[in-house]
C-alpha cells in the first residue's frame, strides 16, 4: 500500500493523542494481541512523546486464548487473582492516574465450535471479578478508547476471495478510510466530524423526546421509551478530571438511554453479531414492558439465549443509537464482523447496562437513583445492529409532537445536505447547505471553464427526481469505487431531496420545473458535494451525458430519464 508507513504513524498518533489522550504524568495501559504489535509499538512512542509517565502493554494471543478455553478446566479459567484487578486499580488510585487503550486485532470466530455454555460462564465470572474496574470505565472516571487493526483471520473472514496478504491490505485501507486517516490529516478531519456530531446531539436534545419508534419492511415495529432526564450523547466523552477522549474509533452515532420498562414491539437484526467469539445471524427479539419475552435467530439462537440470560438486566436494553445510512462505514458496503465498526454502519440497540453519562448528572448518582430514572443495570453491554436501508424512525416529543427522524435509513436531522453549483454567465456561484438546509456559504465563486455551457441549475425551484442517478456508474462512484450502485442511488436520492425539495416526488420520471428561467439549457453542469470518507469530492458531468432528454428542444423541461448506457460509459 502506498504511504502505508506514514498512514500507520498518523493512525497511531491519532488514536493515542485524540483517542485515549494520555495526560502528562499519567500511565497508559495498552491491551492488545500479538498481531497488533506493529501498531502498539508506535502507540507506545506516541504516548511517551505526549508526556505519559509510563506505558505498559498487556499482550494476548488469539491461539493461546482458544487453547485455554478448549483445554483448560472451567475452574482454572475462572480462578482470577487479585493482581489482575489491582494492575488497573493501583494505577487509577495513584496520583497521576491511568488511561487504557484497547487495540483489537481479533479473530471474529476465535471460539467457533467450542462449548458455548462454558465460554459464557467463564466470561461471566471474569465480568463479575472485574466489576470494580468496570465502574471506572462505565462512569468515564478514566479515559479509555478502543481501536483496531487487521488480523489475518479477520481479514480473510471479510474477504475470503482474496489471498491473505491482499485481504489484510484491503482491510487496512478500509480502516484508514473510515477512520479518516487516508486524507493525511486525521486530527483536523475528526475535529470537524466531532463538531458535526455535537450539533446533531444538540438537535436531538432540543426535541425533548419521550420515545422513538422504529419501522422497516423486515418486520421491525419497535417503540423505545426514553429514560427520565436522559440526554443524547455523541462521540466524545469527558473524564472526571475534564479530559476529552474518544471511547470508540471510529464512531458515527448519537445515542441515549432507553427506559428499562418502556420498550415494546419486535425488532429484527440487520447485521451478524459476534458474541463470545461466535456468530449470531438473522436474530429477532420481542419486547414487552421493557423485557425480551421472545427471541430467535437463523444461526446462533442458543447463543443469543445465553446472552439474554446473563443476568436480570440482560433482557432489557441500555442504549439506543441513531446512525445515518450515509455514514462512511455503511457506504463502504463492507460487513466487518466487528461491533466496533458495524455498530457505526447502522442504528443499534444494546442489551444490558445503560451508560450513566446518558442521564443528567448520571455519573454522580447511585445505582438506585439511576434505576429510579429507568436506567438499566447489567454486567453486559452488547450492541446489536437493527437499522435497515428503509428504516423509518419517528420520535414523540414530551409536548405531544411527532417528528420524523429517519426516512429510508437516512436521518432527516442527521443529513449532510450537499451543495450545488449554479453556473451563471462566466461565473460559478457555489452554495453549500448546512445540516438545517440554510446556505452556509451564501455567495462566492470562481471563473468557470470556458467549455462549460452557461446555465443555472436552481434547486429550490425544481422538483428533483430522488432516483435521478439510480443507474449511474454501476461500478460505483467516489474514491476507489467505494460507492456501489445501491449506495450511490440512495446517496443522491436522499442528499438531494432532503431539506431542499419539501415533498417526495414520484420515482418515474424526473420532471423539472419548466417555468424556471434559470434552467433553460440541457448542457448545464451539476456538481454534487458529498461527504465521502470525510473528504469533499466533486463529480462534474454535463447533464446530457447522464440523461435522455424529452420535451421542448433546447429546454431543460419535459421528461428526463436516466440513460444507463451513457452513464456507464462515464470516466
Tens of pLDDT along the chain (571 residues)? Answer: 779 999 999 999 999 999 999 999 999 999 999 999 999 999 999 999 999 999 999 999 999 999 999 999 999 999 999 999 999 999 999 989 999 999 999 899 999 999 999 999 999 999 999 999 999 999 999 999 999 999 999 999 999 999 999 999 999 999 999 999 998 899 899 989 999 999 999 999 999 999 999 999 999 999 999 999 999 999 899 999 999 999 999 999 999 999 999 999 999 999 999 998 889 999 999 999 999 999 999 999 999 999 999 999 999 999 999 998 778 898 888 999 999 999 999 999 999 999 999 999 999 999 999 999 999 999 999 999 999 989 999 999 999 999 999 988 676 554 433 322 222 222 233 333 333 333 333 333 333 332 222 222 222 222 232 223 333 333 333 333 333 334 444 544 554 444 433 333 323 223 223 333 333 232 332 333 233 223 333 333 343 333 333 332 322 233 333 333 333 333 3
Rounded Cα distance between 308 and 380, Å, is 10
**DSSP 8-state assignment for residue 95:** S
Greatest C-alpha distance within the chain: 83
Q: Where are the beta strands (DSSP E) in 221-341?
A: 221-226, 237-238, 244-245, 254-256, 258-268, 273-275, 278-288, 291-299, 317-322
All cell numbers assigned to 521: 439549457
C-beta atoms surrounding 446 within 10 Å: 9
Rounded Cα distance between 38 and 50, Å, is 19
Q: Where are the beta strands (DSSP E) in 323-448?
A: 348-352, 381-385, 392-397, 402-407, 410-411, 420-424, 427-431, 445-447
Q: Where are the beta strands (DSSP E) in 61-177?
A: 98-104, 144-148
The angle, 0 to 180 degrees and rounded to 10, between the axes of the packed helices 131-138 and 82-92 is 30
DSSP string of 540-553, one letter each residue? EEEHHHHEEE-SST
The distance of Cα 284 from the centroid of its chain, to the nearest Å, equals 21
Which run of H or of E encompasses 527?
strand 525-532
Q: Please choose, from the candidates 537, 527, 545, the residue with its C-alpha nearest in 3D space to the C-alpha of residue 472.
A: 545
**Per-residue model confidence (pLDDT) at position 325:** 76
The angle, 0 to 180 degrees and rounded to 10, between the axes of the packed helices 116-129 and 301-308 is 20
User: Which segments of 332-424 does DSSP mark as H helices, in order?
Assistant: 339-342, 367-372
Count Cβ neighbours within 10 Å for each residue of 168-202 and write b for 16 or more, e otherwise.
bbbbbbbbbbbbbbbbebbeebbeebbebbebbbe
Rounded Cα distance between 202 and 401, Å, is 18
Residues linked to residue 539 through DSSP beta bridges, in sequence order: 528
Residue whose cell numbers read 440554510 = 438
Residue whose cell numbers read 453491554 = 381
Rounded Cα distance between 222 and 225, Å, is 10
Rounded Cα distance between 449 and 542, Å, is 13
Rounded Cα distance between 474 and 326, Å, is 18
Rounded Cα distance between 509 and 329, Å, is 31
**DSSP 8-state assignment for residue 191:** H
Rounded Cα distance between 435 and 396, Å, is 21
All cell numbers assigned to 166: 491482499
Rounded Cα distance between 287 and 264, Å, is 5
Rounded Cα distance between 175 and 189, Å, is 15
Q: What is the pTM of this model?
A: 0.71
Pairing of strands 98-104, 144-148: parallel
Amino acid at each position: 500500500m502506498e504511504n502505508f508507513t506514514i498512514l500507520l504513524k498518523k493512525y497511531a498518533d491519532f488514536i493515542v493523542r485524540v483517542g485515549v489522550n494520555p495526560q502528562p504524568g499519567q500511565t497508559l495501559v495498552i491491551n492488545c494481541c500479538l498481531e497488533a504489535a506493529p501498531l502498539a509499538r508506535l502507540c507506545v512512542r506516541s504516548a511517551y512523546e505526549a508526556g505519559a509517565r509510563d506505558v505498559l502493554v498487556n499482550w494476548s494471543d488469539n491461539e493461546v486464548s482458544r487453547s485455554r478455553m478448549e483445554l483448560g478446566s472451567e475452574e482454572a479459567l475462572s480462578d482470577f487473582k487479585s493482581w489482575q484487578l489491582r494492575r488497573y486499580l493501583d494505577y487509577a488510585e495513584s496520583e497521576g492516574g491511568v488511561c487504557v487503550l484497547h487495540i483489537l486485532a481479533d479473530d471474529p470466530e476465535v471460539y467457533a465450535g467450542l462449548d458455548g455454555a462454558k465460554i459464557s460462564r467463564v466470561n461471566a465470572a471474569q465480568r463479575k471479578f472485574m466489576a470494580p474496574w468496570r465502574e471506572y470505565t462505565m462512569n468515564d472516571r478514566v479515559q479509555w478508547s478502543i481501536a483496531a487493526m487487521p488480523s489475518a483471520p479477520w481479514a480473510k473472514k471479510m474477504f475470503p476471495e482474496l489471498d491473505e496478504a491482499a485481504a489484510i491490505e484491503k482491510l487496512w485501507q478500509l480502516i484508514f478510510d473510515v477512520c479518516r486517516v487516508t486524507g493525511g490529516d486525521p486530527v483536523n478531519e475528526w475535529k470537524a466530524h466531532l463538531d458535526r456530531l455535537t450539533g446533531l446531539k444538540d438537535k436531538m436534545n432540543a426535541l425533548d423526546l419521550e420515545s422513538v419508534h422504529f419501522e422497516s419492511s423486515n418486520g421491525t415495529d419497535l417503540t423505545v421509551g426514553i429514560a427520565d432526564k436522559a440526554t443524547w450523547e455523541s462521540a466524545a466523552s469527558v473524564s472526571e478530571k475534564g479530559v476529552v477522549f474518544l471511547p470508540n474509533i471510529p464512531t458515527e452515532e448519537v445515542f441515549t438511554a432507553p427506559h428499562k420498562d418502556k420498550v415494546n414491539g419486535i425488532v429484527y437484526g440487520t447485521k451478524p453479531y459476534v458474541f463470545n467469539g461466535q456468530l449470531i445471524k438473522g436474530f429477532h427479539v420481542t419486547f414487552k414492558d421493557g423485557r425480551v419475552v421472545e427471541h430467535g435467530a437463523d444461526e446462533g439462537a442458543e447463543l443469543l439465549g445465553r446472552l439474554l440470560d446473563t443476568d436480570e438486566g440482560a433482557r432489557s436494553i441500555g442504549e439506543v443509537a441513531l446512525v445515518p445510512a450515509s455514514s462512511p462505514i455503511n457506504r463502504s458496503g463492507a460487513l466487518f464482523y466487528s461491533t466496533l465498526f458495524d455498530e457505526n454502519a447502522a442504528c443499534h440497540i444494546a442489551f444490558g447496562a445503560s451508560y450513566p453519562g446518558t442521564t443528567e448528572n448520571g455519573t454522580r448518582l447511585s445505582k438506585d437513583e439511576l434505576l429510579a430514572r429507568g436506567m438499566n443495570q447489567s454486567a453486559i453491554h452488547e450492541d446489536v445492529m437493527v437499522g435497515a436501508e428503509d428504516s423509518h424512525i419517528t420520535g414523540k416529543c414530551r409536548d405531544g409532537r411527532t417528528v420524523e427522524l429517519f426516512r429510508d435509513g437516512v436521518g432527516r436531522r442527521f443529513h449532510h445536505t450537499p451543495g450545488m453549483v449554479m453556473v451563471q454567465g462566466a461565473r460559478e456561484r457555489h452554495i453549500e447547505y448546512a445540516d438545517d438546509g440554510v446556505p452556509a456559504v451564501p455567495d462566492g465563486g470562481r471563473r468557470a471553464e470556458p467549455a462549460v455551457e452557461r446555465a443555472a441549475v436552481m434547486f429550490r425551484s425544481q422538483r428533483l427526481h430522488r432516483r435521478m442517478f439510480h443507474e449511474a456508474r454501476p461500478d460505483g462512484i467516489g474514491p476507489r469505487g467505494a460507492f456501489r450502485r445501491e449506495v450511490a442511488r440512495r446517496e443522491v436520492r436522499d442528499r438531494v431531496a432532503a431539506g431542499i425539495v419539501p415533498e417526495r416526488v414520484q420515482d418515474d420520471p424526473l420532471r423539472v420545473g419548466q417555468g424556471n428561467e434559470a434552467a433553460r439549457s440541457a448542457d448545464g453542469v451539476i456538481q454534487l458535494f458529498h461527504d465521502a470518507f470525510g473528504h469533499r469530492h466533486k463529480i462534474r458531468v454535463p447533464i446530457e451525458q447522464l440523461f435522455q432528454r424529452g420535451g421542448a428542444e433546447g429546454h431543460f423541461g419535459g421528461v428526463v430519464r436516466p440513460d444507463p448506457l451513457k452513464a456507464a460509459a462515464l470516466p
